[in-house]
Structure 1
């Protein structure tokens, strides 16, 4: 998902992102807590 964020940043340089380009964000935000727990366990 991080690579999707990087592609979005590059693709939208200097303009607003479209709805299609932002479609992955709700899932990305919902998975935040699980990702943080995983990162903490790996430390």
Structure 2
């Protein structure tokens, strides 16, 4: 077992930071799709 009790917390923080950081190559690779219009029932 690790001698550092905060190692797991730091690893979780690093993983979350890496996951939530926007990727530079993922800048609008495809145009936003228009939303399908909801059909109204009358």
Is TM (by shorter chain) over 0.5? no
More helix by share: 1
